[in-house]
Chain A
Amino acid sequence: MNTNGNTYTVIYSTILVVLVAAILAFAALSLQDKQNENVKLETVSKLLGAASQADGNFTIEEGADVLGLYADHITDAFYVDGNGNRVGEMNMGKEDKNAIEVTTTSDLKKQNDIMKKIEAGDASLKPSLRMPVYVFDINGAKITVIPCYGAGLWGPIWGYIALNADGKTITGAVFDHKGETPGLGSKIADAPFCNEFKGKTLDLSSAQSFAVAKPGSLDNPEHGVDAISGATITSRALGLSIDMWARNYSAYLIAAAAENENAQAAADELTETNENVEE
Chain B
Amino acid sequence: MSDINWKEVLLKPIFKGNPITVLVLGICSSLAVTVQLKGACVMALSVTIVTGLSSFVCSLLRNTIPNRIRIIVQLVVVSLMVILVDQVLKAYAYPISKTLSVYVGLIITNCIVMGRIEAYALGNKPIPSLLDGLANGVGYGLILVVLAFFRELLGSGTLFGFRIIPESFYAAGYMDNGLIILPPMALILLGIIIWIQRGIQKDLREE
Report A's interface with B, CB cutoff 8 A.
3-4, 8-9, 12-13, 16-17, 20, 23-24, 27-28, 31, 34-35, 38-39, 41-42, 179, 182-183
Contacts and interface: CB of A to CB of B under 8 A. Distances in A.
B65 A38 contact: no
Nearest to B101: A179
Contacts, number: 58
B76 A16 contact: yes
A38 B134 CA distance: 30
Interface in B41-77: 63-69, 72-73, 76-77
B37 to A, nearest CB: 16
Contacts of A42: 94, 98
B53 to A, nearest CB: 12
B119 interface: no
B179 to A, nearest CB: 13
Main secondary structure of the interface of A (DSSP, over half): helix
A9 B92 contact: no
B87 A28 contact: yes
Secondary structure call for the B interface: helix
Contacts of B101: 179
A183 B182 CA distance: 9
A23 B84 CA distance: 9
A16 B73 contact: yes
B80 interface: yes
B4 interface: no
B94 A13 contact: no
B87 A27 contact: yes
Contacts of A179: 101-102
Given A23-B80, A179-B101, A12 B90 contact: no
A9 B66 CA distance: 6
B68 A34 contact: no
B11 to A, nearest CB: 33
A12 B83 contact: no
Nearest to A176: B98
A4 B67 CA distance: 6
Nearest to A178: B101
Given A24-B83, A179-B101, A179-B102, A31 B91 contact: yes
B88 A8 contact: no
Contact of A12 (B64, B80, B84, B91): B64
B19 to A, nearest CB: 24
Given A13-B72, A16-B73, A3 B87 contact: no
A182 B77 CA distance: 29
Nearest to B84: A27
B73 A31 contact: no
B76 A31 contact: no
8 contacts: A12-B64, A12-B66, A13-B69, A20-B76, A31-B87, A31-B90, A35-B87, A35-B94
B83 A9 contact: no
